[in-house]
Structure 1
Amino acid sequence: MKKFKILLVSVALGVSMFACNDDDNESKEIYDPNTAAVASVDRFSAAAGHLQVRTTTNGLPAANAAVNFDQGPFITKGLGPSGQHVAYYNFDVQSTTPAPIWVLYHEGESTPVSGQLNIIDVLPGENGYNDFWQIVKVTVPADYQANEVASYDEINSRGYKQETTSTLVNCPVVPQGSTASLRLNGESSGIIRGWYKEKVVYYFTFGEKALTVTSGKVPVSPIYVSFNINPDANNANSGPASGFVTEDGSTQTHNVVATLPSDAAYSPLWSVSAYDNADFDKVNNIATAVSATSVGQGLANVNCPIVSIP
């Protein structure tokens, strides 16, 4: 893509303007996120999706189509450890191996370069993508201007110092125009722009709990769920394909999370175990979920940030 140029001219006081030559001018090329191409994003392709894969009949949004995550199947009503009602978004299966996101800082400063978009190098469906990103701090010179670089390759080619931190952020990459209006603790629900190989990408951020990598991995927390058809290796329509059991006339499940964002062990990456749907009416908190008949443990790790605790 093309950059635009900012021309910086320095003329020493008392020196004739005609004495200036090319060495007195410094030209910086800046990427403009307002005019840059937008990267193609498809969370529901066979390459990107696991539980949420587009078919001709399931109605999942097309590639690059804006997604309303405030409607099913992208949001679920569940239960907290003590039986309190919670709601969480469903961003599908994710790895415990985080992907890197590069955040730029001027040398000697503790806040990111103002106006600079963060940089990623993988998209949904590409090898190594994860909604969970481990922050890599990039140190740039004092005269660096926001968006001089817009790709990981440029960071490397300039030889900027990179420091991998332990800080983890939950930022699902989504198509432009997507919405997910719920957050905890007054966090903004707006969509954020970033760079991917000199193209603009859009992502949400969920900061209901500060996260750090644990032994290089995304931490997980348990969730206990019940499906309309208990998981059966010989039945492709069982388990997640059959949907969650809900209360009569309601969208309320008895899926029980083991932790809340106020708990030290909380993580929005949930390790899914299933209990027998015959026990659905008996399950109303973590104790009853754990004691219910198990029909599958550690079935998947899913990104489901809690966004409502009425």
Structure 2
Amino acid sequence: MVERNSTRRRFLQAAVGASMIAVAGCTGDDDGGSSGENGMDNESGMDDENGMENGEENGMENGEENGMENGGDGMMEPTDPEEAPVVEVDRFSEDAGTLFVRANNDALPGADEPIDFDQAPFITTGLDADGNTVQYYNFDVMPTVPAPIYALFYENGDPVEGQLNIIDVVPGDDGYNDFWHVQKVTVPDDYTANTITSAAALLEHDYDIEPTGMIKNCPVVPEGSTASKQHSADDGPQDAVEGWYEGQVVSYLVFEEDSFEAQSGQMPTSPIHVTFNVNPGEDGGGPPSGFMTEEGSDQTHNVVATVPGDPSYSPLWDVKIYNNAEFDSVSDLDSALDAEQLADGPTVNCPVVSEQ
């Protein structure tokens, strides 16, 4: 890749140089000829000072200053992820969090500290549409518009083995989302894995980028974070996956073996019916008061309308809040729909990871 690009760069430089000589030659006679005041042979230094023959100052032959031989067009040597810096991630800063903000709850892990998502308040026990017990993780409020994630493939359609996927936002950045719209990037067959390690560098190249319509749920987390539960019994606990962000290694978790199909470029949603210890509109009401649970238990009566495997399942839940006075009467989706609805909440990322 480097050799081909540098050759192309040198060709363009030579073509531009030839054009400039032709233009100068057309005007040179009017100003006193090719060897007169314009000094096109010697005085302007086109042979010596500009180094067009020897490539000294412009480096056109040796590629010294412009780096034409060594990939001066932006291509660099591959980066070993094992030796690359790791990006600092803070999901609980005021810029990143909505329901989970450290300024409001100092019990939350510190910036870049590993998060154990198997501990409260990051996992909730609820009910499915039929009243069966389910568990789901809580990854906070997320928008419906996914962020791009770039996956690199060769021209024959094979993925670039060893290349980490590339993202351009992390929690706290404008436009961040746990849900990623997969972009298929086609690179030349002589591309070397992990030569490109940032979205900015990727977009500098004229590679074909095709939105796939496929969305994945991959929350970016601090290195060392864990979430041991997966919905599929065949999957088992899964380590975080590494990617690239601005030349640094970033970790993200992957949920659901299936992808989600974008709908008009957005992540689909599914309803969840929840209730809190204090109803919204009352002092301290809503999320700060915590979910209402059965006495002596962590069992809520939050009801998800769909579960993995259902055609309309989505882990991005459209929250519906019902009156906590009807907590005891809610045991499945039908009874949740019959309860008094108080308000609509935000869309939250809560993948279902267990059904009983």
Q: How high is the TM-score relative to the length of structure 1?
A: 0.88
The letter of the residue matching 2:303 is V
Question: Deviation above 4 Å: which 4+ runs of structure 1?
Answer: 25-28
* Mapping of residues 211-250 of structure 1, within 5 Å: 211-232=260-281, 235=283, 237-250=284-297
> In the alignment, what sits opposite 2:81?
33
Q: 2:256 aligns with which of 207, 210, 233?
A: 207
> In the alignment, what sits opposite 1:195?
244
> In the alignment, what sits opposite 1:304?
350
* 1:1-60 residue CA offsets vs partner (Å, 9 max, x unmatched): xxxx9xxxxxxxxxxxxxxxx99x988611111011111110000000000001365400
Higher RCO, Cα 8 Å, sep 6+: 1
Moved more, 207-216 or 168-177: 207-216
2:245 and 2:179 map into 1 onto residues whose CA distance is 16
> In the alignment, what sits opposite 1:158?
205
1:264 and 1:56 map into 2 onto residues whose CA distance is 38
1:137 aligned to 2:198? Answer: no
**How far did 1:143 drift?**
1.1
1:209 and 1:301 map into 2 onto residues whose CA distance is 20
Structure 2 unaligned segments of length 5 or more: list them.
Answer: 3-61, 64-68
> In the alignment, what sits opposite 2:341?
294
Counterpart secondary structure, 2:77: strand
Structure 1 unaligned segments of length 5 or more: list them.
Answer: 6-21
Count matched residues: 285
Moved more, 185-194 or 163-172: 185-194
2:300 and 2:248 map into 1 onto residues whose CA distance is 40
> In the alignment, what sits opposite 1:86?
134
1:272 and 1:279 map into 2 onto residues whose CA distance is 17
Q: How high is the TM-score relative to the length of structure 2?
A: 0.77
> In the alignment, what sits opposite 1:12?
none
Q: Which has the higher strand share?
A: 1
| 8 A Cα contact 1:209 1:266, kept in partner | no
The letter of the residue matching 1:137 is K
Q: 1:273 aligns with which of 303, 314, 320?
A: 320
* 1:149-183 residue CA offsets vs partner (Å, 9 max, x unmatched): 00111112222111111000000000000000000
Counterpart secondary structure, 1:278: helix
The letter of the residue matching 1:307 is V
* Mapping of residues 105-144 of structure 1, within 5 Å: 105-109=153-157, 111-144=158-191
Which structure has the bigger radius of gyration?
Answer: 2
1:208 and 1:256 map into 2 onto residues whose CA distance is 23
1:70 aligned to 2:118? Answer: yes
| RMSD after superposition | 1.8
The letter of the residue matching 1:127 is D
| 8 A Cα contact 1:30 1:148, kept in partner | yes
1:116 and 1:254 map into 2 onto residues whose CA distance is 44
